[in-house]
Amino acid sequence: MKNIVSKNLKKFRESSGLTQEKVASFLGIDRSAYANYEAGCREMPYNLEERVSDLYGIAPILLYEEDEQKINTELVCAFRTDNLSDKDLKGIADFKKIVKNYLKIGRLSNA
């Protein structure tokens, strides 16, 4: 399971055009700690999984997804840009979290 998460962390990061340093800074951890999560050397704590999923605008469960098609569907909507500040990343993550929650509410009301 750890290898799936590490592979997906890397895929989402690269598709978003972010460096390990940027993601680590956003999470408030050292780059080396984040690199260990991506390499599968350590398991990422759930609170960090939640924060990184907010950054990518995905549900945390997608970090555990093995189906390449489902991952690729999410990657189509990946936000790509260069030279983002930490404040920019926080704003993007906050916005994506709002959208993610809005979509979740919509699915619940249609159930």
Tell which wins on pLDDT, 103 or 39. 39
Please give the average per-residue pLDDT across 5-33, as a whole number: 94
Give the pLDDT band of residue 15 (cuts 50, 70, 90): confident
For the chain, the domains span 2-109
Rounded to whole angstroms, the Cα distance separating 83 from 41 reads: 29
DSSP labels, 17-80: T--HHHHHHHHTS-HHHHHHHHHTSSPPPHHHHHHHHHHHTS-GGGGG---HHHHHHHHTT---
CATH of domain 2-109: 1.10.260.40
The confidence band for 68, taking pLDDT boundaries of 50, 70 and 90, is: confident
User: 72 falls in which pLDDT band (50, 70, 90)?
Assistant: confident
Say if residue 69's pLDDT is above 80: yes
Residue 101: what pLDDT? 76
The per-residue pLDDT for 84 is 67
